[in-house]
Amino acid sequence: MTITIYHNPACGTSRNVLEMIRQSGEEPVVINYLKAPPSREKIVELIAAMGGSVRSILRERGTPYAELNLDDPKWSDDQLIDFIGEHPILMNRPIVVTPKGTKLCRPSELVLELLDNPMEQFTKEDGEVVTSKGRDRV
């Protein structure tokens, strides 16, 4: 299975998702999207594959979201995509692409739905334990 993760190594959720993928027996293509930002076309493709909106992938915390006043409904989808292109940190992470689908994996256990062989139990960096049975938190 080919898996791609749009990853920020400074993000705990992104690190947890990457480790969950690896523990499932897969080595994903890791794209550090801050160093290698996706093209406008790729951003549009990812949003379409997730079935969401541009706003659904915007990250507020730790970004210029407030400074740019991006909560203002005046901004069109095209304009918001342009902002993501200018400021890749605005794209929420991690986004994972597999043959089973594409998801923004927040919380990190959402990635389990995209894996062929998710591990039975995983301990996140913060000590929280998640299980693959029913995708329930312990």
Residues paired with 122 in a beta bridge:
130
CA angle in degrees (0–180, nearest 5) for 110-115-120: 80
Q: Determine the residue type at 101.
A: G
65's CB contacts (< 8 A; 6+ apart) are 58, 59, 71, 90
What is the chain's length? 138
Q: β-pairing, 4-7 with 29-32?
A: parallel
Task: Work out the burial of residue 89: count CB atoms within 10 Å of its CB; fewer than 13 is exposed, 13-18 middle, 19 or more buried.
Answer: middle
Whether 105 sits among the annotated catalytic residues: the reply is: no
Please identify which of the residues 3, 5, 11, 54 carries the catalytic annotation: 11
Catalytic residues: 11
